[in-house]
Structure formats: structure tokens, C-alpha cells
């Protein structure tokens, strides 16, 4: 029996400085990671007689040790806490999926600035607007900006080599700067108005356009006046649709936590430059016994360590961590207000976000129910056995190549009611006869499951092979060499004309092939996983083939090293663009002399 933890001795040694603490059980497993402005005061709060949360009381009963790390500031403590939570995944910490990056709208700083979609780390070489809650929100905004201001969206290699305007010019979504159909000054004015619009200054834009329309009309430039009129009408339509526009601009994140029917959802809605851009619901892990307030605090701390925090956060509940605003303010280097709604518009935002969270819960419950039915149908159809308390795990393999070139094998994973992309793997297949799919499957399966012999890797409930009896035999042979023939394996052979619904299931244990009805839920699940494996394999093959194509022919040309090759690809976008370029265009690339340009031109023609 575990001896009671001596809290008094621990507290006597703790400092009052900021830092991070870790609660550890008798087996050395970290139960919980937390941060504190005052380590001694915060840790002491866990060892009082009564706990408001049964979940915390259960955790405290398992504590065998407490480790602390002192930090130089509260911001450093917040960073360390989040790093430890993500690396250790303690069972009493509420965990949110780590969204690496949110999409932005980017305006480059070229002579004719390009409008585009951007995801990744920002820098000072361009202007960024966002972040946006989804890629769809970015693309809708770009489409709107194209319609109103006709800015170019093409990449520089395409833009620099146009000899006539593209289709976007014909449908009035671009002003044709690539071939000089708009003066630089007028294009710069359009860019400036697009920037003002993205900053929430719609009325200023309408004022400028109205003045420009009147001036054009007075000068009898009726075509230009009509363009300004159309831009004003488009802007007013946008304003009419943005019924949640505060009219004051500014960036606000609306974060709500909603619990309903045993499910907990945290929904993030983004307001940028006064415009509501959409929602992103998230469902945390380890939150079964948590309150919405606790989930809200966990989300705010984890999310804003990785993403920019606006000056105002609007929440539907007071966070469980009362000092959270101070933590986020120190992280951001400026004051951050975490506030509940006071104004009518703020209450509307909160109500919308809560309603969307409830809709997300309903949709998730329906999806989980449907996935559960499909899994149960699969178990029944194939006679699968799944250990009690364990989730079914399906791994599927597919091969992709072009006439044996650049062969790539892909393995995708289905678990927990959906595809688990963090567990996906690709294998560049080497040392086989080109086009030998059997050998490729054998190599991929062998490489995938060799780790099960030396580590505690995840064991699949079912292995799917996209292929017929030959591929299945190769996969079985690879498993036999590893001593893993007990793993259930199934081949999915495409039917006649390769039409969905006509697949034949090939058993590795010698059972007769099975053809399920086209409407069978088990077949739908198999098709979903198989199709995802195919997509993942094809994208990997294309990337490998493209990389080879971009470099192989250039590498054969004397005088073209990595630096010059990179410069050429960057300028012209790829081998085709280099082939289309003339000698004078090639010499415009730094490091390419006329003699070398002539050599490149001759080698590619």
C-alpha cells in the first residue's frame, strides 16, 4: 500500500519564485504539469483538506513525488508548461490538438504586389493579414479582394514570363500588370485600398472610390467611373453580409467552452479588423471530468503560446486560472484583456460561438456513432477480435510509381473514429526491379513492422493491402520473416472497371474471397481508408518524381551547381519554366553568364 505523501516536508523546501511543477505517481509517471507565479503557494493549494474538484482529489491521492523547475519569468513558465504537456501528455492535463499554423493573407512587396494564401512563419519581407480560422475563410477573402481590387495572384515565375494576359484578366479578376495593362501608380493605389480593407477601414475605401468615380465622370472617363462604381457596390454588399461587424475594427478572439451530452467543445471564433471570419471548434483529450471553465483555461494557455494573441479575448465563462490574463500579457509583451461580454454585439458574438459549438458537438456525436456502426460491421464481416477497452487500429498500404520510377509506399492509420495523420508513414522503395509491386509491398511491410520486435509500437487490429492475392502473399511473407503472422491481414482488390463497390476482399488465412454489397457499412470504411492510402502514396510519389525532374537534367549540365540550380528553379518555377525561357531571360539570373545560358538552352532543347 502506498505511504501517504509527506506534503509538509516538500512545502518547506519550495521557493516562492515562478516556475513549473510536475505531479508524479509511484511508478514515476507524470500525472499533471502546471505553472505558478509562486510555486510554494500554488503547490500548497493541492494539499488542503477539501478539493472543489473530485478529479483533482483523485489525482492528489496518487501523488508520490513533486518536481519543480524555477523559471526567470512567468512567460518562460508558460512556455515550459506547454512544452512538457505536449511531450509528456499527462493524464490529468486537458490536451488540445496542436494546430501548427493558421492561414494568412499575404501581400508581397514586389513592384506589382502579389495577393496570396500563406501558411507558416511570418517575416518582414511581406505584409500578412490574419490569422484566419480556416483556409476556406482565406480563399473567400482573396476571391472578394480579386473581385474588388483586381490584384494579381500568380507566382513570380509565371508573372515574369507572361506575354499576354491570362483568364483572370478576361473575367475581370486581375488588372493585367504582367503585360503592362495598368500603370504602376494605379496598381499601387489598388493595393493601398486592399490593405485598408483588410485593416477594417471600409468606409475610408468607399470614400476614396466615390471621389475617384466623381473625378473620372467629370473627365468623361466613363469606363473608369464604372469600375469604381462596381467596386463600391461590391464593398457595400460585403458590409451588408457582415451583420456582426462591430464598426470599430480591431482584432478580437471569441472563445467559448460548452458541455453538452457528455461532450465538451471549445470553439474559437476570430474577428479581424472588425469582420467575423468564422469558427474553429476543438474537442480536448483527457477532459471527461473537467468543467468548461477548466477546458477554457487550458485552451487559452496552450493555443496562445503557439499563436499571436489579440489585445482582447472575449469568453463566455471566467477562466479557471484567474491570473491567465497576466500570463498572456507577459507572453505578448503588452496588456491582454480576457473579458466576458458587456455590449450587445459582444453578446451576439458569444451566442453565435456557443451555437456553433453545440452544432459541432451534434455533428461529432453523429460521426462517432456512424464510425462505431461501421467498425462493428467490419468486425462482424471479417470475424475480427478486439481486446476489451482498446480502440480498433487499421493500417493500410499502397504503392505508387510511374512505370517503375520513383516508387513510394504509403501507410495510413485509422484509429479512434478517424484517420490519425500523425502516424502516417511513407517509404522510398529502393533496390527492387522497377515496377515490381510485390517486392515494394514486401519491403514496406517489413520496414513498417520491424520496430514491433524491438519496441512497444502500436499493434494494428487489421492490416489492409491495396491489391490482390500477389500483394497479399508478399505482405504475408514479410510478416512471416518478422514472426508476426498472427496479425490479421486483408487485401482489397479492385473489381472490374475498377468501380467502387465492386471490390473483392482477399484473406491472408486462405478463406474464400469475399465481396460485400456496395451499400455495406464495412465496405465503406475499407474504401475510406484505402482511398486515403492511395492519396497519400500518390502525393508522395509526385513529390519524389518532381524533385528528381527538377534536378536531374540540370545536374548533367557542366557549370550548374546547387546554388545556380536553386536560383534557376526559384526564378522560373521548375524545369518546364527554364526550358521555356530564352537565353536573355536565363542570363538575368544571378551567376548565369551568356555562355552558360547558351549551354543550358542547348541542353534543354
What local confidence, expressed as pLDDT, does residue 247 receive? 44
CB–CB of 229/213 below 8 Å? yes
What local confidence, expressed as pLDDT, does residue 491 receive? 92
CB–CB of 327/78 below 8 Å? yes
How do 19-24 and 30-36 pair as beta strands? antiparallel
CB–CB of 23/88 below 8 Å? no
37: Cβ contacts below 8 Å, ≥ 6 apart: 18, 74, 77, 323, 326
Longest CA–CA span in the chain (Å) reads 94
Q: What is the CATH number of domain 252-361?
A: 3.30.420.340
Distance CA 166, CA 176 (A): 8
C-alpha cell of residue 473: 502473399
CB–CB of 300/255 below 8 Å? yes
Q: Do domains 252-361 and 556-603 have the same CATH topology?
A: no
Candidates 119, 256, 249, 156; CA nearest to 197 is 249
Q: What is the CATH number of domain 7-88?
A: 3.40.1440.10
What local confidence, expressed as pLDDT, does residue 242 receive? 46
Q: Name the 3-class secondary structure at 226.
A: helix
* Phi (first) and psi of residue 263, to 5 degrees: -115, 145
Distance CA 178, CA 163 (A): 8
Please write down the long-range contacts of 559-565, taking CB distance under 8 Å and 24 or more positions apart. 559/596, 559/599, 560/596, 560/600, 563/591, 564/589, 564/591, 564/592, 564/596
Distance CA 58, CA 43 (A): 16
* Phi (first) and psi of residue 316, to 5 degrees: -90, -15
Candidates 277, 200, 467, 343; CA nearest to 475 is 467
Residue 557 class from Cβ within 10 Å (0-12 exposed, 13-18 middle, 19+ buried)?
middle
Residue ranges, the chain, pLDDT below 50: 1, 240-247
Asked if residue 131 has a cis previous peptide bond (ω within 30° of 0), the answer is: yes
CB–CB of 70/17 below 8 Å? yes
Report if pTM > 0.75: no
Q: Quick one: fold of 393-540?
A: Nucleotidyltransferase; domain 5 (3.30.420)
CB–CB of 302/294 below 8 Å? no
Residue-range domain boundaries for the chain: 7-88, 103-241, 252-361, 393-540, 556-603
What local confidence, expressed as pLDDT, does residue 244 receive? 46
Q: What is the CATH number of domain 556-603?
A: 1.10.150.20
C-alpha cell of residue 307: 499563436
Distance CA 295, CA 349 (A): 20
Amino acid at each position: 500500500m502506498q505511504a501517504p505523501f509527506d506534503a509538509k516536508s516538500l512545502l518547506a523546501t519550495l521557493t516562492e519564485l515562478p516556475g513549473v511543477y510536475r505531479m508524479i505517481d509511484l511508478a514515476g509517471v507524470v500525472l499533471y504539469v502546471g505553472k505558478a507565479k509562486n510555486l510554494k503557494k500554488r503547490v500548497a493549494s493541492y494539499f488542503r483538506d477539501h478539493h472543489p474538484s473530485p478529479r483533482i482529489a483523485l489525482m492528489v491521492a496518487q501523488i508520490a513525488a513533486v518536481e519543480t523547475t524555477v523559471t526567470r519569468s512567468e512567460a518562460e513558465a508558460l512556455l515550459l508548461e506547454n512544452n512538457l504537456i505536449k511531450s509528456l501528455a499527462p493524464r490529468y492535463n486537458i490536451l488540445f490538438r496542436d494546430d501548427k499554423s493558421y492561414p494568412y493573407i499575404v501581400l508581397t512587396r514586389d513592384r506589382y504586389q502579389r495577393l496570396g494564401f500563406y501558411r507558416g512563419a511570418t517575416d518582414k519581407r511581406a505584409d500578412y493579414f490574419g490569422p484566419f480560422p480556416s483556409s476556406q475563410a482565406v480563399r473567400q477573402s482573396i476571391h472578394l479582394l480579386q473581385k474588388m481590387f483586381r490584384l494579381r495572384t500568380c507566382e513570380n515565375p509565371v508573372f515574369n514570363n507572361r506575354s499576354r494576359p491570362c483568364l483572370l484578366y478576361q473575367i475581370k479578376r486581375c488588372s493585367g500588370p504582367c503585360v503592362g495593362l495598368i500603370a504602376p501608380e494605379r496598381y499601387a493605389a489598388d493595393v493601398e485600398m486592399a490593405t485598408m480593407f483588410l485593416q477594417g477601414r471600409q468606409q475610408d475605401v468607399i470614400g476614396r472610390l466615390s471621389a475617384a468615380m466623381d473625378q473620372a465622370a467629370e473627365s468623361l472617363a466613363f469606363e473608369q467611373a464604372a469600375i469604381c462604381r462596381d467596386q463600391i457596390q461590391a464593398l457595400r454588399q460585403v458590409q451588408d453580409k457582415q451583420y456582426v461587424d462591430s464598426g470599430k475594427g480591431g482584432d478580437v478572439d471569441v472563445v467559448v467552452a460548452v458541455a453538452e451530452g457528455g461532450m465538451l467543445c471549445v470553439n474559437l471564433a476570430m474577428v479581424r479588423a472588425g469582420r467575423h471570419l468564422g469558427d474553429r471548434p476543438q474537442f480536448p483529450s483527457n477532459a471527461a471530468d473537467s468543467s468548461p471553465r477548466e477546458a477554457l483555461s487550458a485552451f487559452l494557455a496552450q493555443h496562445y503560446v503557439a499563436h499571436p494573441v489579440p489585445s482582447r479575448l472575449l469568453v463566455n465563462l471566467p477562466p479557471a486560472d484567474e491570473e491567465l490574463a497576466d500570463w498572456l500579457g507577459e507572453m505578448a509583451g503588452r496588456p491582454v484583456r480576457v473579458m466576458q461580454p458587456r455590449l450587445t454585439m459582444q453578446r451576439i458574438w458569444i451566442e453565435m460561438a456557443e451555437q456553433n459549438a453545440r452544432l459541432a458537438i451534434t455533428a461529432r456525436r453523429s460521426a462517432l456513432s456512424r464510425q462505431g456502426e461501421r467498425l462493428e460491421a467490419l468486425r462482424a464481416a471479417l470475424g475480427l477480435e478486439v481486446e476489451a477497452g482498446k480502440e480498433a487500429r487499421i493500417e493500410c498500404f499502397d504503392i505508387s510509381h510511374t512505370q517503375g520510377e520513383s516508387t513510394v509506399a504509403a501507410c495510413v492509420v485509422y484509429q479512434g473514429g478517424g484517420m490519425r495523420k500523425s502516424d502516417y508513414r511513407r517509404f522510398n522503395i529502393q533496390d527492387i526491379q522497377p515496377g515490381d509491386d510485390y517486392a515494394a509491398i514486401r519491403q514496406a511491410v517489413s520496414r513498417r513492422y520491424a520496430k514491433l520486435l524491438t519496441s512497444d509500437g502500436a499493434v494494428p487490429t487489421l492490416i489492409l493491402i491495396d491489391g490482390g492475392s500477389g500483394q497479399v502473399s508478399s505482405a504475408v511473407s514479410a510478416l512471416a520473416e518478422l514472426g508476426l503472422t498472427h496479425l490479421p491481414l486483408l487485401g482489397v482488390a479492385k473489381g472490374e472497371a475498377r468501380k467502387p463497390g465492386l471490390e473483392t476482399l482477399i484473406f491472408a488465412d486462405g478463406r474464400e474471397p469475399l465481396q460485400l454489397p456496395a451499400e455495406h457499412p464495412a465496405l465503406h470504411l475499407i474504401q475510406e481508408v484505402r482511398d486515403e492510402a492511395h492519396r497519400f502514396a500518390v502525393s508522395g510519389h509526385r513529390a519524389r518524381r518532381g524533385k528528381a525532374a527538377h534536378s536531374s537534367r540540370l545536374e548533367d549540365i557542366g557549370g550548374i551547381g546547387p546554388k545556380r540550380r536553386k536560383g534557376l528553379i526559384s526564378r522560373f518555377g521548375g524545369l518546364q519554366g527554364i526550358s521555356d525561357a530564352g537565353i536573355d531571360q536565363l542570363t538575368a539570373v544571378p551567376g548565369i553568364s551568356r555562355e552558360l545560358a547558351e549551354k543550358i538552352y542547348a541542353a534543354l532543347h
